[in-house]
A and B are shown apart, each in its own frame.
Chain A
Amino acid sequence: MMKLKRLIFMSAVILIITAFYAYSREEIPTIDNIVFDHPQRSAAVFDHDDHNEKAMLEDDCSICHHVYENKKLIKDESSEDYLCSECHFLKPTPENAIPLRMAFHKQCKECHFESNKGPVLCGECHIKK
């Protein structure tokens, strides 16, 4: 009798966990990584509005969507209507030394390290499916 009870209990637990797991997986929005030819890692987890709220960016888009001209940051100008890949190409070029992958990584990690918050390790964004 005890055995059966335990079995049912364990199955229920496993069921809930897997259901939760599958559900939570489904829900996480990611960055669009379509420009990468053969991405080896899953697209990085990123929920734009949720992130900005947590980071208290208060609608200042230029913090992330920066604009550089002649390698100098133009203050208070923002580039949210452009794709990152329009400036940051897959391979570094003379005009822009920072290739796309590095641009993404640096953009997130440098800020996260500075503010002591947010993911900084590979698998914290590139979650294995």
Chain B
Amino acid sequence: MHSFINFIMGPMVWISFLIFFIGVIFRFFQVIKLVNERENFIYTYMSFKYSFRSIFAWLIPFLPVSTRKSPVFYGISYVFHLLLFLIPIFLLSHVALLEESMQWSWFTMNDAVADILTLIVIFSLLFFIIRRIVVPEVNFLTKLSDFGFILIVALPFVTGFLAYHQFFAYQWMVIVHVLSGELMIILIPFTRFFHMFMAPFTRAYTGSEFGSVRHAKDW
């Protein structure tokens, strides 16, 4: 058991990140190759000014009209995406482990705060599930895989929460926590999770077209 735990909390972490980085590079390479082969006009229309104008406009909460049409979903989604990164990066236990193995260390947040934020993430995911079932136009678009994505994201947060509180089966909770976290990292480049990398570029292209060709706002 010790060597298994050592493996998943040691080498497996690096393997996951390695697969993640190779995957990301591969996906970008694929897209760039396609752009060069088929749609190199994209470079002609891409404009830094309007790309960033569009991206920044869409980062300001509730600036885009679209987000004001669904304020609850958008608000929850905004907070959720922030926490998705903030919690794991600034969690004391994660930083402590990293410090021990790599001597890397940075700011950590209070465990009690992290606990509440984790609950927010879990309830956000619950909200997404309910929204996918209840809102007709979203339900129509929903495939089984969409619930799958929610589940994959939920798993590390739920198990992390349960492990922190040591409610039951502590050791197994940590093991599932670590493995599901690694699974998510590995899956990012190969699934629609990749929107975290592609969305800025699709936004930038539309922003460029709207800005430099159409002279209109796109938010």
Contacts and interface: CB of A to CB of B under 8 A. Distances in A.
Interface of A: 40-41, 97, 101-102, 105-106, 109, 112-113, 116-117, 120-124, 127-128
B48 interface: no
B171 A121 contact: yes
B163 A105 contact: no
B171 A102 contact: no
Contact of B5 (A40, A41, A120): A120
Contacts of A127: 166
Contacts of A97: 103
Interface in B33-86: none
16 contacts: A41-B111, A101-B96, A106-B100, A109-B100, A113-B3, A116-B1, A116-B2, A116-B3, A121-B170, A121-B171, A123-B163, A123-B166, A123-B170, A123-B174, A124-B171, A128-B165
B2 A105 contact: no
Contact of A40 (B100, B110, B166, B171): B110
A97 B174 CA distance: 29
B96 to A, nearest CB: 7
Given A109-B100, A113-B6, A124-B171, 16 more contacts: A40-B110, A40-B111, A40-B112, A41-B111, A102-B99, A102-B100, A106-B100, A112-B2, A113-B3, A116-B1, A116-B3, A121-B170, A121-B174, A122-B163, A122-B174, A123-B166
Interface in B92-117: 92-93, 96, 99-100, 103, 110-112
